[in-house]
Amino acid sequence: VDRYIKDYERVKFLVRRGIEPAQIQHMTGRGKSVIEQYIEIIEHYHPDNGND
């Protein structure tokens, strides 16, 4: 579970910085579908684009 939380926080950070999903995928080593799912969660729970 810790890995998923760390990955999510990293993706959220990168989205906040305006990094494109393909670049996030490359930077994190996570698959396209995982990044897409994280971005969906971010957009749903952080509609301000990941800013807390």
CA distance 26 to 16: 17
CA distance 28 to 35: 9
| pLDDT recorded at residue 51 | 52
**In this structure, which amino acid lies at residue 50?**
G
Domain spans of the chain? 1-46
| pLDDT recorded at residue 6 | 96
| pLDDT recorded at residue 50 | 47
For 18, 19, 25, 28, the CA distances from 3, given in Å and listed in that order, are 23, 21, 15, 12
Chain segment 2-45, per-residue pLDDT in tens: 999 999 999 999 999 999 999 999 999 999 999 999 999 999 99
| pLDDT recorded at residue 48 | 82
Contact assessment for residue 47 and residue 19, using Cβ atoms and an 8 Å cutoff: no
